[in-house]
Chains A and B, each alone.
Chain A
Amino acid sequence: MKNAEIKTQQKRMQFMPDIKKGLIRNIVPVVFAVLCIIGACIAQARPLFLLSSVTIRMARNLLLVFSLIIPVVTGLGLNFGIVLGAMAAQIALVAVTHWEITGISGFIVTALLSVPLSIFFGWLTGRILNRAKGNEMITSMMLGFFANGLYQLLFLFVLGGIIPMVNKTIMLPSGIGIKNTVALRGLKYALDNVIKIEYDDLIIPIFTFIVIAVMALAIKFLLQTKLGQELRCVGQDMNIAEASGIDVDKMRITAVILSTILAAWGQLIHLQNIGILQTYGSHEQVGLFAVASILIGGATVTKATIGQAILGTFLFHSLFIISPMAGQKLVGEPQVGEYFRAFVAYGVIGLSLGLHAWQKQQAARNKFEE
């Protein structure tokens, strides 16, 4: 049928693969993949060691990176405010450690406890971001710094100072404030240990990965519901969304809340694997590293997928592991690699944001020349 032919042709025209264009579009992940391969060649690390390190780090970080997807889809950009989710998780963790609830039940209680906290934090963040439309990223970043101040006040002074703490093991010797490092003895590997495979150095926390996969599917599902459609619509154009009767501000707040909850759970998974809570430091880099990961995966301020999150996390952490080793081999100084890591994290964010702005300009120019 002629009609059908036209349709397939139109379809083909739109999806026609163009290798060069594809390469340019995916320039960021390609560059990082090349860097990883070169680094691995120089470092000459044992493949099994590499694999096990990357697997553990993926398990730790994936959910945190996933938490960035919904705000990007909703047009809020990269939500550096997931730091607040991490704080919610840590508050819940301290409470549960204080009550000495252990094992998987302890983990579940922590996860549940972090939800109301995240909803509250996310709601606040969302309300502030609604007043800063167009500047969400820098606002959410600053909000993270500001929240850090309140967080420190809570943990250094309020706990023990105003709220009496019965369990002294996690308190500073003076009895006021939480210790710098809290060992999460009861919760260490709480989730990982449910099902895991061990082989030589390689440990694969199967159950953690199952949980992460379920969350990924949940995000995918969510984006395909009516709610998801509204979120995407807001992300595309707030004015049109408003005109077609969608409550834009509410949708944006919803997106931030969801992101904050996911970040809280992500931080929980992260910390149960590490087993030690750096009370005043664990959350600080969360936003930065997650954002760097997803950007390396090829996501932009306006587009992010689960696949990009997974790829980015893999590349970012591979580079994290490989670069100190390569630095050691090259100049006998692992610090060089360490330096490279920090350089990469900040550099990639700056570069991607710059590239994104450039692409936008380019698109505008192309449109003009049409």
Chain B
Amino acid sequence: MSYLEYSVRRVPSGPAKILHLNWALIVLILAVCGFGVVMLWSVAGGRFDVWADAQLTRIGAGFVVMIAFAMVPIWFWRNVAGLAYGVALVLLVAVEVAGAIGMGAQRWIDLGVIRLQPSELMKVALVMLLAAYYDWLSPARVSRPFWVALPIVLILLPTALVLGQPDLGTALLILAGGVAVMLAAGVHLAYFGVALAGGAGAVSAVFLSRGTGWQLLKDYQYRRIDTFLDPASDPLGAGYHISQAQIALGSGGWGGRGLMQGTQNRLNFLPEKHTDFIFTTLAEEFGFVGAVSLLVLYALIVAVCLRIAMASLDRFSALVVIGIAVTFFLYFAVNMAMVMGLAPVVGVPLPLVSYGGSAMLVLMAAFGIVQSAHVHRPRQKARP
């Protein structure tokens, strides 16, 4: 496109921005949140005041944050990306230090109204920083080794910190979100091939070293892997939760057992049923129809985001939206795979559905940035 073409477009401003919000995305997000509220009401045994009302408050607050972020020009977000990353990194170090000096292992900072998990913040901050990096970087240099190494360092730094908390699930999400931005930015696929091969080699090394003098993981970590691979091997121990989750999920059948009729939910056989394992209750009570509906809603959210990214007219917008979309995707994919027994239990909540403040607010803020990218895309001037 030529400069001339560009000049005839303008970015919406003022109250007109409201009209340019992506309403499909908002409806989809609110639909998923609605699922969450119903499920939290159900897992509390039909009581609204246990989790559901607090969740509603958070959805409301998150919604306000989303709209507010959407109103802020996308280039502002690009400009504060470095700052956000820096703050998140400092906070990560702070909780690490607080844990080390005897306050116990903590992953969050108490801000009074909300307990903020720096690792949640980092997921978005890292995506923003990398998007800004590739926005700044000349496209010609994207695949040069030095310019590839730099973002890798930016990714590994927070990943290592979160891994040390230890929070394997979030660390994987941060890593994958960062890698996704690099992939989207056009880094040569050979790098990813090498990384994949290296990862596979590392995994085999972990397994092959088991039982030898130089084994890479602790015994209990190997046992966790065993339990993941075959939950029935330890039905009363660690495998119990996985087995019970799968029983709940499977027993839902096509149409589900009805709201609050899921015996696995009602009789407390499910672990963490309002947080990480909430999908099992949904699947038990709403069946295949309900579970696939949620899956489709999630997939549509990701699709809408990718469409926004592809329509973007600047690299930062496109990359930050892709990064957020991938992060969101990884959230629900890992959570669902975990409760279905396709992935190890790593402690990832179901986005927008699980009970919890930090994740909800950070996700809403991230969608606010997506909306901002959408709103602040230059548009053809309306014909007079």
Q: Does A pair with B?
A: no
- Listed in ascending order, the chain A residues whose CB lies under 8 Å from chain B are none
